[in-house]
Amino acid sequence: MGTRDFPSFIQASEEASISRLYGGIHFMDAITNGQDQGKAVGNWVLQRIYGEVYTTSTPGMQDQSDFQARGREPFHD
């Protein structure tokens, strides 16, 4: 199997998450809870480092290009 490319870290993590369902490793509720927890931890880290959290509901940050222009990847609400 060759290398995989993803347009965002979020998309890569979603594919990795769903593969654990397909592999019988996790149930869907565990995947959803893990994704929510990961986003919460990521937002906490961003808050501690940058003093702000960038999400799709942040004013001026509704489009993927807004995040890329600031060197950030969005955490979806």
The answer, yes or no, to whether residue 10 has pLDDT greater than 70, is: yes
CA 65 – CA 42 distance, rounded (Å): 20
How many other CB atoms are found less than 10 A from the CB of residue 22?
A: 8
Q: pTM for this one? A: 0.58
CA 26 – CA 18 distance, rounded (Å): 9
| pLDDT, position 77 | 46
| pLDDT, position 24 | 92
Which one-letter DSSP state was computed for residue 55?
B
pLDDT digits (tens, 9 = 90+) for 21-70: 999 999 999 999 998 898 888 888 878 887 766 565 555 544 555 556 66
